[in-house]
Every structure is written in C-alpha cells, then in structure tokens.
Structure 1
C-alpha cells in the first residue's frame, strides 16, 4: 500500500486564515496612501484658507466657489481621509468601505479643484485612484463582510 497514498499527511488546516485583513499588503498600502493623501488635502485646505491669492482663480468655471470655501472642504475631507486611513489599521471591514467612499470623494473634490492647482490635483486624484484600487484588490472573505 505504499503507492496508494495511504501515508499520513502532514497536519494542514483547511480552516480560513486566522490573520486579520490589515495584515495584507494592499490594505496597508491603501492606509499609508490615505494618511499621506489626507495630509496633502489638509495642506491644500490650509493654504486656500490662509492666503487666497496663492491660487489662480479661473473665470467661467462650472464649479465657482470662493477659495476659502474650497479650503474648508479640503481641510475637512483631509481629516476624514486620515481618520479612515487610521481605521484601516484596525482591520475592520467597514473601514475598507469607508476608505473607498472617502477616496472617491477626495478624487471628486480634486477634480473640481483642477483649475486652481492642476498638478497638485492630478497627483491627489492618482493617489485616490490607487487607494480605491488597493482597497478593492485585497481579498474580501465572507468573514470580512
């Protein structure tokens, strides 16, 4: 019976992995990017609130808010993005969903900010897209939802 495979196998657990989702590389990558992107959004907001004449005001743009309003929007959104990024380190499934939503809101806000500071906006839009991709690329198991 040596060739029939009746030899005892090594102990191998078929149970789901006991590691938490935050251990996965994509989630950590997204959390770090969210913290960085949130800090950049806070700087963006502070600079718009503190000194309106730093940015170019484009006339006849569809989304016409004054720069102080945009500053407050970016400041608050940056704080929320940082908090969501920190929550990703806890491994909570809700933090991944919230991270996707706030990264989408960040990309949308930076799209509307394009006429004021195009390079900064494009970089933050790219970071937000990487965040969404990283949070969606990680494994979502039944225990996560």
Structure 2
C-alpha cells in the first residue's frame, strides 16, 4: 500500500516576508524612476547634457526606450513579488542587476541620479538575497 506523504516546508520567517515586500516597494519606485527618465529622454533628448569624449557614445533616445522598457518590466515584476509568484524573485534579481549596469552607463549624463538608482538596486539585491537566506 502506498502512502502519500507531503513534506511540510518550514514556515517562512517574518524577516523574509518583510524583505520581499520591501524589495517590491523599492522596485516599484525604481521602475517609476526609469519610466520618468525614459519618457524624458524620448520626448526631449536635449534634456540630458551631451557628454563629449565619453567612451560609450550613446543615442539618448535609444537609452530612453531602454529605460522605459526596464521601468515597465520592473513594475510588472514587483506586482509578481506582491503576489508571491515564484518566478518573480529571480526575474527581479535579474532586472535589478541589469538596472544597475544600465545606470552605470548613464552616470555621465545624470551622475547623482544614476548613483542613487545604483544604490537602490544594490539595496534590493541585498533584500531579495537575504530573504532567500532566511527562508
């Protein structure tokens, strides 16, 4: 006779739940910042000062579209985190790492803003990986 046993996973700690909710809120904020930056670059790419002699000569309208797509993807992923979807944590980690890299290339155009977003990205990476360690 076969016996069906379910292995109960340990309950998730309050710290882990709080870290994921915190990360989701900050991802929404970062995503909104990306959408605003992307729209401003798309609608008026003269808003950003052109940097001469920068190693990565980027078309600001193209970067605007990249920022807009990143922002919308991050907001959608944050909704998945709020719903506790299993895929959302991994997608959020991937998007936040790409966001930090994207902001690194944007430092000459808006240094304070880019460094602020990189700091928020690192904070979200910490919160998401910390929730995995506590789970």
TM-score bucket (shorter structure): 0.7 to 0.9
Moved more, 91-100 or 33-42: 91-100
Higher Cα Rg, which structure: 1
Residues 1:16 and 2:13 are matched in the alignment: no
Q: 1:83 aligns with which of 76, 81, 101?
A: 76
**How far apart in 2 are the matches of 1:93 and 1:20?**
16
TM-score by length of 1: 0.80
Residue 18 of structure 2 is matched in structure 1 by 25
CA contact (8 A) 1:20 1:91 kept: no
* 1:103 to 1:15, Cα distance in 2 relative to 1, 3 A: closer
* CA RMSD across the alignment: 2.3
Segments of structure 1 that go 5 or more residues without pairing to the other structure are 1-13
Q: 2:121 aligns with which of 122, 125, 128?
A: 128
**How far apart in 2 are the matches of 1:20 and 1:87?**
19
**Which protein is richer in helix relative to its size?**
2
Within 5 Å, give how 1:34-113 maps onto structure 2. Answer: 34-113=27-106
Segments of structure 2 that go 5 or more residues without pairing to the other structure are 1-7
TM-score by length of 2: 0.86
Query: 1:41 deviation in Å?
Result: 0.4
